[in-house]
Amino acid sequence: LGAPGLLPAGGSGPWPPAEGLRGGQRQPRGLGHVLGCCGLLELDPRPGGSSGAHGTLVGFSPQQRPAKRSKCRQLFRSPSMPSSVIRPILKRLERPHDRDTPVKTKRRRSVAGTPGEVAEPKARLMRSRSFCQEEIENMLANDHRELIGDFSKAYLLQTVEGKHQDLKYISPEMMVAVLSGQFSSFIESCVIVDCRYPYEYEGGHIKGAVNLPMEQDVEEFLLKKPIVPFDATKRVIVIFHCEFSSERGPRMCRFVREKDRACNEYPHLHYPELYVLKGGYREFFPQYQAHCEPQDYRPMHHADFKEDLRKCRLKSRTWAGERSRRELYSRLNNC
């Protein structure tokens, strides 16, 4: 029943308009109503014909069934329509021939199998690698993303999706934009926290990054004497990363936010704008070696530093245990 060209020329469908629906909307009914409006299919036994069934649809009203076959073939006729309105079988819809219409109609394959007209490929848009001050101001003015931790303004840097949905990730390209000073009119201080172990950091790191592998190191560096901007209109941002920015970097970012919340009255924060470098140093180094010193990459599981890895992990677990005990004692004292 849903084939093209089955609706009457006047726009009336096989079902009468339902009462109570605005705009002349029609409500589909059960199968019995459809059969009551349709003609009866009669088989036409023809001598010498093919084995397939030939049939005509004979229309009838709900009051009576005509015994004679209708002269004109039709699929169905609405009881509300006059009998003089007869529709052709499988009439095709007229398709627009204007190719410049906003929405082009589908091109079907021809009978001979000639492929239809192939759509022209769309031009690929490339992201700009530099940001002028006017573009940044427009981006901030029209930004509808989430606000930073103290809800005072929107995030300055363009973020990307990462492993942890509660954190804000930036791409290596955005990191280079910050390092090259493209956001200097908005950022007073940018702290890059390298959360890798010391032997990894010494093997190669981003220029200007500080190595803070332990939570006590981060707390001492950032929270004991918080960095306060001299210009209140500018920002202090902190970017965390480790080798892959999968575990150590995100964990340290959450630790700073947790401690920052604890020592401030909500929603005020010392560092409301925190980011994580997506892909970590492993993804940053091959693309931007000029921004690294020394220009090398030493993985955590390096064959020559197995003993260093063991010591660093032991120290990290020891610190985590001491922290848990201190928090437990603090809770007991507050009870």
pLDDT in tens, 77-98: 545 555 454 454 455 555 555 5
One domain, residues 36 and 158: no
Is 274 domain-assigned? yes
Q: How many domains does the chain have?
A: 2
Q: Give the pLDDT of residue 151.
A: 95
Residues 173 and 300 in one domain: yes
Which CATH number do you get for residue 275? 3.40.250.10
Q: Can you give the pTM of this predicted structure?
A: 0.57
Distance from C-alpha of 285 to C-alpha of 210, rounded to nearest angstrom: 16
| Domain with 51 in it | 1-18+30-93
Q: Which of 179, 199, 146 is nearest to 306 (CA)?
A: 199
Contact (Cβ atoms closer than 8 angstroms) between residue 128 and residue 175? no
Q: Are residues 50 and 182 in the same domain?
A: no
Instruction: Tell whether the torsion through CA atoms of 70, 72, 73 and 79 is positive or negative.
Output: negative
Residue type, 70: S
**Is 149 in the same domain as 78?**
no
* pLDDT one-digit tens code per residue, 6-59: 444 444 445 454 444 444 444 444 444 444 444 444 444 454 444 444 444 444
| 191 and 308 assigned to the same domain | yes
The answer to whether residues 43 and 166 belong to one domain is no
Specify if 69 maps to a domain. yes
- Enumerate the active-site residues: 242
